[in-house]
C-alpha cells in the first residue's frame, strides 16, 4: 500500500508538472505582412503557410532552436515580379552571435543560380566562397557572368533583422501567433 501511495504521488507530481508546461516549438515560422507593416511568428507550419498565401508574403523565414538556443535563422525573399529569390541561412554560435551565412541567389533573367558563403565577425561579413550554376540545368557555369544580382542586405547582428523585436517576445515558441509592428517600407 505504501508503494502505491508513493507511486501515486510520484505520478501526480510529474503529470501535473508536464500538464502545466507548454510545449516549446523547435522551429518558429516567420512572415513579413507588408500590408499591415508587421512581422508575425507562427508555431505551426500549416497555419504559417495559409497566412503566407492569404497575404501574398514575399519575405518569410524560420527560426531553428537547438537545446533552447536560437541556432539558425533562414530568410527567403522574392521580388514582386518573381524574377529572383534569395535564400539566406544564418548560423549562430553558442553565445547567440551570427557567425556564418550561406546564400543562394536564383535569378531568372540570365538563368543563374549563385551560391555564396560568408563568415560574420565583429559586425562585418567576409565572402569566403562563390560558385555559379545555370538555374535551368543545375550545371556548373563554365564562364560565370558578372551580371546583375539582387542587392539584399547581409545582417551581421541579430538587432539588424527587421523582426528582431519578435526574438525577445515572451511566449514566442509557445504562442500560436505573435506579431510586432515595423516601420513602413520607404
Enter the C-alpha cell of residue 153. Answer: 542586405
Q: Measuring CA to CA, how many Å separate 76 from each of 2, 5, 79, 94? A: 59, 55, 10, 24
Residues belonging to the chain: 186
**Tell me, what's the pLDDT at 6?**
33
**Tell me, what's the pLDDT at 144?**
65
How do residues 43-72 score in pLDDT, each as one tens digit?
A: 999 999 999 999 999 999 999 999 889 999
Tens digit of pLDDT at every position of the chain (186 positions): 444 333 322 333 333 333 334 567 799 999 999 999 999 999 999 999 999 999 999 999 999 999 889 999 999 999 999 999 999 999 999 999 999 999 999 999 989 999 999 999 999 999 999 999 999 999 988 776 667 889 999 999 999 999 999 999 989 999 999 999 987 664
Enter the C-alpha cell of residue 42. Answer: 507562427
**Tell me, what's the pLDDT at 148?**
84
Three-state DSSP state, 9? helix
Domain extents in the chain: 25-181
Decide if 107 contacts 126 (C-beta within 8 A).
no
Query: In the 8-state DSSP scheme, what is residue 140?
Result: B
- Nearest Cα neighbor of 113 from 136, 88, 129 is 136
Decide if 95 contacts 113 (C-beta within 8 A).
no
**Tell me, what's the pLDDT at 14?**
34
What string of DSSP letters covers 94-109?
Answer: TTS-EEEEEEEEEETT
Enter the C-alpha cell of residue 63. Answer: 527560426
Amino acid at each position: 500500500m505504501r508503494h502505491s501511495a508513493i507511486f501515486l504521488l510520484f505520478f501526480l507530481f510529474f503529470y501535473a508538472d508536464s500538464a502545466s508546461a507548454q510545449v516549446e516549438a523547435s522551429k518558429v515560422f516567420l512572415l513579413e505582412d507588408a500590408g499591415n507593416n508587421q512581422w508575425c511568428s507562427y508555431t505551426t507550419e500549416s497555419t504559417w503557410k495559409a497566412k503566407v498565401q492569404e497575404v501574398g508574403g514575399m519575405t518569410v523565414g524560420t527560426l531553428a532552436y537547438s537545446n533552447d538556443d536560437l541556432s539558425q535563422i533562414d530568410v527567403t525573399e522574392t521580388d514582386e515580379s518573381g524574377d529572383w529569390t534569395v535564400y539566406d541561412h544564418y548560423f549562430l554560435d553558442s553565445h547567440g552571435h551570427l557567425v556564418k551565412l550561406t546564400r543562394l541567389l536564383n535569378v531568372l533573367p540570365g538563368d543563374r543560380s549563385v551560391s555564396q558563403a560568408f563568415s560574420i565577425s565583429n559586425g562585418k561579413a567576409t565572402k569566403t566562397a562563390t560558385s555559379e550554376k545555370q538555374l535551368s540545368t543545375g550545371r556548373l557555369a563554365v564562364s560565370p557572368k558578372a551580371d546583375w544580382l539582387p542587392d539584399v542586405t547581409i545582417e551581421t547582428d541579430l538587432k539588424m533583422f527587421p523582426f528582431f523585436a519578435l526574438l525577445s517576445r515572451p511566449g514566442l515558441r509557445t504562442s500560436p501567433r505573435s506579431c510586432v509592428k515595423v516601420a513602413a517600407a520607404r
